[in-house]
Structure 1
Amino acid sequence: MKKIALALVLSSSFFTTAGFASTLTLEDYSLVFQGDNKQQQRQAMESLILSGFDDPSIFDNIEAKLTASLPLATTKNSIDYSSWLAKSLGYSGNEKYQPTLQGVVNGNYHKKLRKYAQEGLTNISQFALWNPILNNKNHFDESQPRQLNVLANAIASGDLELKRIAAKKITNERIYNEYILQKLAEQLTSLDQLQHTKLSIDTYAWLAKALASSGDEKFKSILVTLSESAPEEKLQRYAKKYLKSYY
């Protein structure tokens, strides 16, 4: 009965909104990849990148889907589907999936599929580092839902690339929860990882855009301060641009 209820939820408009991933549970993800709805699976795979989930109950099913899809990966749509599976398998951060992905890289498959299998291998190494950061409950606020806590951990992390991905997600999915906006504000006030490097400046520019795009007047002064006195002139220019665009 519980599986039937979940199936009804997953087949509804629940999957048509940008923010659906914030409500997906471990069991929801597992059910999606046990089923055969490739559109739902594609949306679920897009959301896995900052979900923090690394449970084999999800990724064993993704691996099985990938293996089953390989003999059929001969058309554009089927190659795209297999490529998404290969890339997403890496979000597990689990080296047990390396042989499967390496087999695709070394196999006689379309170059796009081999490319994304290689990306999946790279993702395994990256998410082996990131998933523990995302899932660190020492920094969770019990009053907030799990996915907002995971996102807040990404924002506050010491990894610039992880911060940037989080800022892009907030901007693109318009996640303007007060808790998240406050976390962005803290980063843009301290600027403790801002350095004279392309990655650092771009990361803080995305953090600024994420905050500014909310249009929340409460945080406008932070953008004004950045535009006037950020240590990096390029960041000042970004802040000025965002003030014009969103306020």
Structure 2
Amino acid sequence: MKYVGLLIFTLSVSFGALAQLNPEEQKLADMLVSGSDKQLKDATVSIAKSANQNTELLDMVAEILLKKYPNAYPSEIDTLAWMARALGNSENGRYYNAVNTVVENAKHKKLVRHAETALDDIDEASGEQYVEGMASLPASLFARESNKDRDARVMALITAGDLRSLKEGARTIIDTRTENQALTDMLAEILITHHSSAADNQIDTFAWIARTLGQDRSGRYWAILEEVKENGANRKLRKYAKKALQEHGDAKGEQYKAGMLGKAVKDYAY
């Protein structure tokens, strides 16, 4: 339903408030509200690199930046930094206060750094300042998926059987700060099953699993990470397991052990 709503919105703006956009800018506007993280970033990078001056388009960028930055996931920071750059490259004083809000309140150092640069490029406030809410974008554009839907999506990724999906699942747990023992137990079983015989093409993904278990502060995966640190098939994997152990902290409560999942895991050979 989210994407249907965004499609309706996109079609409506084609004949409304954004009529002043040229065809290329209209395409960028559609990408900004597509609901796709990749399209959002691609559009933002294009706007920033071209130093686009169209305030209809820049207002959309400012609105998305102001809405998203307070609770942004780590994976979103790069896109938000490009948004700040897009506003800065315009050198339009209309966005001074908006960017300054990010400088003063953002929690992520990279975003603050890029926003500070953007503020320097804008130099000073001039004219009517952009205020959150001026650009009317659909609320669904900023909605987070429910924990239930997210966890189901991550479990599907982990159990798909291929390394790319497995890595995406592990990274999503870190990125969204997910706390779900069923998911981390599944990752622990995969890691303990394959750590000592992992092929070169598997190491990076299994290192991400170690990182994911490390950020779980329950102490449940200490024994698993200790085993991987000592007997992992690759130096990189052992290194990440060691770092994950330090983050994970001391062993607490019942330790996860091989086989506790109660079912065999896939081989993740490719």
Question: Please, what TM-score do these two structures have when normalized by structure 1?
Answer: 0.46
Look at both structures and tell me which one has the larger radius of gyration over its CA atoms.
2
Greater fraction helix: 1
Question: Please, what TM-score do these two structures have when normalized by structure 2?
Answer: 0.42
